[in-house]
A and B are shown apart, each in its own frame.
Chain A
Amino acid sequence: MSSGFVGDLTVFVLAILVGFEVISKVPATLHTPLMSGANSIHGVVFVGVVILSSFVDSPLGYALTFIAAAFAAANVVGGYVVTDRMLQMFRKRPAPARIDEAD
């Protein structure tokens, strides 16, 4: 077992624990934006596709890279845009409309 693999495993386990800690504090009101935001984060798979594209050299490899690039880009771009669109709808109660001006 390579040291790279063990290092990745360490990061994986710790990141899961951090995830549990951070996400268990998110209120139910925000669960849909949270899931959509998490969705954009897994769009990081695009980084993997870029690395993949740097070494593929067969027609099969090119085809898979092309499809993966389209999938990952749709995921990352669409995810962030729709999450932002949703979150901008969450507003506070408007401040009391007017304070009557007494002389």
Chain B
Amino acid sequence: MSGFDITVRLASLFGGVCFVLGLHLMNSPATARRGNQVSAFGMFVAVVAVFAEVIHGGTMTATRWTVLIAGALIGAAAGLYSARTVKMTAMPQLVSMFNAVGGGAAALIAIADYAHDPHLPAGTVTATVLDVLIGSVTFTGSLIAAAKLQGYWSQPVAVPGGRPLSALAVLVAAMASVWTIAGPHTLWALLIVVVAALAFGLLMVLPIGGADMPVVISLLNAFTGTAVAMAGFVLDNAILVIAGALVGASGGILTKLMADAMNRSVINIVMGGFGTGAVGTAAAVGVGGNVRAVAADDAALQLAYASKVIIVPGYGLAAAQAQHELRELAVLLEDRGIEVSYAIHPVAGRMPGHMNVLLAEANVPYDQLREMEEVNPEFERADVALVVGANDVTNPAARRPGNAVSGMPILDVDKARSIIVIKRSMASGYAGIDNDLYSDPKTAMYFADAKKGLTSLVSATKTLVG
């Protein structure tokens, strides 16, 4: 190995170390931004190193440069534009798009490499097939996920004959994979793998409901990482293997955390269908007659004379874009010396940790954002728990067996001394069952859209304590 090769290898090792350190610095909000910069610097070094390598190799022709640079400039401009302009509520869609293009690029590398070299060793062809399979599934799966998150279809889409079609896609992909690995070199077999995997990605994500998106995005993120690692095997390049493995691990952990927080298994979500017949309204407790509705003035009074308030934001808040109004109310209360904190359920929002970003954007300091395990013991000391746009994650029925939310980790909102729920109607949440919290004698229901409701609460509080 020449001195040049060694330098290039060491530079890529440095890049890998930066990725690990960058992720490590993400474990505290105070250092997270620096972590991302460390990771970006590692990426810069790795890219410079690979450019040096190909220039040194002397195989770059004018055509090759043109193709590479033209593609890169177009992609970079598109990436930069979307990163600068995306709204924070639309973050899950953007992350999904990046999963799609990352997985797509990894699959394309494997296809082009296979088409170029008919004499690949069996190990490399296996990695090629895995890369193409995972990358293609990720590509269509993520595009569908992004489209769903964008609201083109938020409801699960029932594909006629979806299950048998998925099974067929898996079977075809498996057979074509074996043919590619064991048979003679032919691009046709690999193209069948691509088509079958693309179809499977579509069929897998189409029937999955909007509320399962945190799990789906995490899973597709893990897939993308794995596809990139496989591209590293194809090209025998360590930095791709390292980075891909790190992302695969990260996506895997988040997938597990999200599925646990929704009380469901990953398999169950991917197979589709929550509340689609399997779970009825078996344990619906007679909510209806004994619900106490209040007006803005009463709710404001209750809040203004509390000494400790815990706010429970849910996706309804984000959907109504009311995080700024919520922050305004919280500041009013804090100015009166009231202790305010926010209880965040792990699946509040459309991707892991989404609610925290939305509240951070509304200038809520991160030390007020409390995780479920940390905040649950505090509810009993809270004078008021203010629930805005969250439903199933506050349902005490989760502690009883025999219903759709049984065993689901919840926020112990019912332990607070009093509860105010801002909600448009008595409609049930995603799990399709009534929320026992609403019929609790301590609970006051303030029926309003999150944004309008909070605006009226703010003005009522101002008049009251003016």
**Contact yes or no, A50 B366, CB < 8 A:** no
Contacts of B111 in A (CB 8 A): 64
On whether the beta carbons of B242 and A11 are closer than 8 Å, the reply is yes
Partner of B253, one of A18, A24, A74: A24
Binding site of A, secondary structure by majority: helix, strand, loop or mixed?
helix
Quick one: CB contact mask for B354-382 with A, threshold 8 Å, 1 for yes? 10110011010111110110000000000
Would B32 and A90 count as touching, CB distance under 8 A? yes
Chain B contact residues: helix, strand, loop or mixed: helix
Complex interface bits, A65-98 against B, C-beta within 8 A gives 1, otherwise 0: 1111111111111111111111111111110000
Interface mask (A19-63 → B, CB under 8 Å = 1, otherwise 0): 110111111111111111111111111111111111111101110
Given contacts A65-B68, A84-B37, contact A77 B29 (CB under 8 A): no
For the complex, give the distance between the alpha carbons of A72 and B40 in Å: 14
A8 in contact with B54 (CB, 8 Å): no
A-contacting residues, B326-351, CB 8 Å? 344, 346, 349, 351
- Which residues of B186-212 have CB atoms within 8 Å of chain A's CB atoms? none
B353 to chain A, nearest CB (A): 3
Binds A, one of B91-99, B282-290, B390-398: B91-99
Asked if B253 and A62 sit within 8 Å, CB to CB, the answer is no
B20 interface hit (Cβ, 8 Å): yes
User: How near does chain A come to B137, taking the closest CB pair, in angstroms?
Assistant: 15
Q: Mark B88-130, 1 if CB is under 8 A from A, else 0.
A: 1001001100110110111011011101100001111001000
- Could you jot down 23 A-B contacts, CB within 8 Å? A7-B238, A8-B236, A12-B241, A18-B249, A22-B27, A23-B23, A25-B24, A32-B354, A33-B26, A35-B352, A48-B231, A50-B51, A50-B54, A53-B65, A70-B71, A75-B98, A75-B101, A85-B83, A89-B360, A91-B365, A91-B366, A93-B365, A93-B367
Top 7 A-B pairs, shortest CB-CB distance: A19-B249, A78-B79, A31-B353, A69-B71, A73-B75, A15-B245, A70-B75
- 15 additional A-B pairs beyond A32-B353, A69-B69, beta carbons within 8 Å, are A5-B123, A12-B244, A16-B249, A22-B23, A27-B28, A31-B346, A34-B23, A35-B254, A39-B98, A45-B109, A66-B71, A67-B104, A68-B104, A81-B83, A90-B33
Interface on A for B, CB 8 Å cutoff? 1-2, 4-5, 7-9, 11-13, 15-20, 22-58, 60-62, 64-94
